[in-house]
Amino acid sequence: MERFEIFLVAPPGLEAVLTEEAGARGFDAPVAVPGGVTVQGGWPEVWRANLELRGAGRVLARLGSFMAFHLAQLDKRARRFPWAEVLRPDVPVRVEATCKRSKIYHAGAAAQRVETAIREKLGAPVLAEAELVVRVRIEANEVTLSVDTSGAPLHRRGFKEAVGKAPMRETLAALMLWRCGYRGDEPVVDPMCGSGTFVIEAAEIAAGLAPGRARSFAFERLATFDPAAWAGMRREAEPAEVAHRFVGSDRDAGAVRMSSANAERAGVAQLCDFACHAVSDAMPPEGPPGLVIVNPPYGGRVGNKKPLYGLYAALGDVLRARFGGWRVGLVTSEAGLAAATRLPFAPPAAPIAHGGLRVQLFRTGAL
Ligand SMILES: C[S@@+](CC[C@H](N)C(=O)[O-])C[C@H]1O[C@@H](n2cnc3c(N)ncnc32)[C@H](O)[C@@H]1O
């Protein structure tokens, strides 16, 4: 397996944004498909995707595919598959299967056939709690075998111990920042920062720190892993000189403590300023304008919706009065709440599923 298809999982609705990020980071032939982005490459690209992509939720390596019209055929072809080229006999695996528009319709039975093939042909233990996952997708009778090379989802950067009531996933925050045109060369303010996700992501991007620099990945337990090559890839570049500040505030003192602790662990505390005050006291840092990005409370998740209209209106007033020249990105679940800010938003893109809610990103040009 020199080159194969690599599948980058994206939150539905943000596939096009992840496609842009993958292209900008030099991945070959990125194509948006429902639920993710395909790129072409080999194992080094799989490692680099896990290490460097900020928006991908997972990285799957497509191992191969074949047709199977019934379980006996799946059984036979799965046994012929060269598992030893990818998996190790000493590393436990589990198999997850999905079936769509296929003669094989029982996902559990399909998974079990592939598990048996791996256990009997390779000798690897198959355990329900195994961290390494082989994915079997059967669609229109075509069986595609992939391995999840990430392990824990990639929004777990490995720094955040403290999270608030409704934290934004880091991968989603990174894609929102990207969508707002943020590339690391301007200041960023979040006046309702919660656990600090936007501010810390933005500071890491500015400093050129790879999101996966401190965590481990499932690919380290594959037969294809090359520890020396990985160590070389992961060796940290000198942090870039950063001229801008990354500012978070929240009226909740616990949230501000969390943000500071998270920034400290991520190694960007020196670039960030966190303060405890209400959004009505938010001020831009000195220097050129940049991006305000914020996800205020949304009714569906953190409480009742009615009082929120006043809060959104106050946010809009503050931004219009003090943040001239800044762009605004606002993430919320209700177009009506966004409208309550009376900020000049462009029409939003389609909603994005986030923690049981559908959220939208509302963006302005420079105020
Ligand atoms: C949805 S959470 C933000 C989550 C954050 N993006 C994160 O990733 O953790 C909304 C935040 O707004 C804060 N908040 C609510 N009303 C506020 C106000 N009037 N002034 C400042 N912050 C406020 C809450 O304390 C909460 O932390």
- Ligand 1 centroid from CA 164, angstroms: 9
Ligand 1 within 6 A of CB of 331: no
Considering the entire predicted model, what is its pTM?
0.94
Model pLDDT for residues 5-36, shown as the tens digit of each residue? 999 999 989 999 999 999 999 999 999 999 99
| Residue range(s) occupied by CATH 3.30.2130.30 in the chain | 4-148
Question: Taking residues 307-316, what's their average pLDDT?
Answer: 95
pLDDT in the model for residue 302: 52
Does the domain formed by 170-211+241-363 have CATH 3.40.50.150?
Answer: yes
CB distance 248 to ligand 1 below 6 Å: no
Q: What atom of ligand 1 comes closest to residue 296's alpha carbon?
A: 10
The predicted structure's pLDDT at residue 307: 86
The 3-class SS string of the chain reads CCCEEEEEECCCCCHHHHHHHHHHCCCEEEEEECCEEEEEECHHHHHHHHHHCCCCCCEEEEEEEEECCCHHHHHHHHHHCCHHHCCCCCCCEEEEEEEECCCCCCHHHHHHHHHHHHHHHHCCCECCCCCEEEEEEEECCEEEEEEECCCCCCCCCCCCCCCCCCCCCHHHHHHHHHHCCCCCCCCEEECCCCCCHHHHHHHHHHHCCCCCCCCCCHHHHCCCCCHHHHHHHHCCCCCCCCCCCEEEEECCHHHHHHHHHHHHHHCCHHHEEEEECCHHHCCCCCCCCCEEEECCCCHHHHCCCCCHHHHHHHHHHHHHHHCCCCEEEEEECCHHHHHHCCCCCCCCCCCEEECCEEEEEEECCCC
Residue range 4-148 in CATH 3.50.50.60: no
Residue 164, pLDDT score: 65
Q: Is any atom of ligand 1 closer than 6 Å to the C-beta of 250?
A: yes
pLDDT in tens, 289-304: 999 999 999 876 555 6
The finding on whether 170 has its CB within 6 A of some atom of ligand 1 is: no
Within the chain, which residue ranges are assigned CATH 3.40.50.150?
A: 170-211+241-363
pLDDT confidence band for 241 (50 / 70 / 90):
confident
CA of 191 to the centre of ligand 1 (A): 8
For the CA of 258, the closest atom of ligand 1 is 9
Q: Give the distance (Å) from ligand 1 centre to CA of residue 230.
A: 38
Atom of ligand 1 nearest to the CA of 301: 1
Which residues are CB-contacts of 210 (< 8 A; sequence separation ≥ 6)? 51, 52, 234, 236
**Interatomic CA distance for residues 92 and 130, integer angstroms:** 6
The pLDDT tens digits for 150-171 are 999 999 998 877 666 678 899 9
